[in-house]
Amino acid sequence: MAEEASAAPAKSGSPMKLVIVMIVGAILLVAVSMGGVFFLMKSMGMGGGGAGGGGHVKDDSAPAIYHALEPAFVVNFKERGRSRFLQVEVQVMSRDKQMIDELDKHTPVIRNNLLLLFSGQTAETLHSSEGKEQLRQSALAELNKILEAETGQVEAIEALYFTSFVTQ
C-alpha cells in the first residue's frame, strides 16, 4: 500500500510538467517568430530607427532639408542677334542630409551641367510658365543624374525650386 501511495503523486506530477513544458515552448515559439519578423522588417528598411541594411532608404516622414546652390547662375545666350541674360537662384530639397553633403562635394560638375542647360534656352521658352516648368524639371533630372553617377543613389533630390528668375 505504501507503494501505491508513492506512485500516485508521481502520476499526477507528470501532466503538470507536460503543461509547463508546453507553455514554455509556446512562449519560445512566439519570441522566435517575433524576432524573425523584426529582423526581416529591419533588413528591408521598414523598421524604425533609420535605414535598414546599411543603405539609404527614402524616408518621406523625415523633415525636408533645403539647400541653396550658390552663387546664382548667370548665363548669356543669343536671341535674334541680341545678347540676352538669365539669372537664376536655385534651391533643392531632400530628406537625406548625406545627399545635401554630396551636393557640396560635387559642386563643380553640378554647376557646369546646369550652366550648360540654362544657356541652351531661348527667350521664348523662358517667358512662358510651361517653359520655366520644363526647365525646372530638366534641371532636377540633370542634378539627380549627376548624383546617381557619383553616389549610386537614385532620385536623391526630391525637388528643385527657382527662388529668383530674371531674364533681360
Mean pLDDT by 10 residues, the chain (168 residues): 52 76 77 65 48 51 94 90 93 96 95 96 91 97 96 94 95
Given a contact cutoff of 8 angstroms between Cβ atoms, the answer to whether 164 and 88 are in contact is yes
Euclidean distance between CA atoms 82 and 84, whole angstroms: 6
Given a contact cutoff of 8 angstroms between Cβ atoms, the answer to whether 158 and 94 are in contact is yes
Given a contact cutoff of 8 angstroms between Cβ atoms, the answer to whether 59 and 140 are in contact is no
Q: What is the pLDDT of residue 50?
A: 41
Q: What is the pLDDT of residue 55?
A: 46
What pairs with residue 126 in β-bridges?
none
Q: What is the pLDDT of residue 80?
A: 83
What is the DSSP secondary structure assignment for residue 154, as one 8-state letter? T
Q: What is the pLDDT of residue 4?
A: 52
Q: What is the pLDDT of residue 58?
A: 59
Q: What is the pLDDT of residue 36?
A: 63
Given a contact cutoff of 8 angstroms between Cβ atoms, the answer to whether 73 and 118 are in contact is yes
Q: What is the pLDDT of residue 57?
A: 53
- Whole-structure pTM value: 0.64
Euclidean distance between CA atoms 111 and 73, whole angstroms: 8
Given a contact cutoff of 8 angstroms between Cβ atoms, the answer to whether 139 and 90 are in contact is yes
Domain boundaries, the chain: 1-52, 65-167
Q: What is the pLDDT of residue 12?
A: 53
Q: What is the pLDDT of residue 51?
A: 41
Give the CATH number of domain 65-167; options: 1.20.58, 3.40.91, 3.30.450, 3.30.479.
3.30.479
Q: What is the pLDDT of residue 11?
A: 53
Q: What is the pLDDT of residue 81?
A: 81
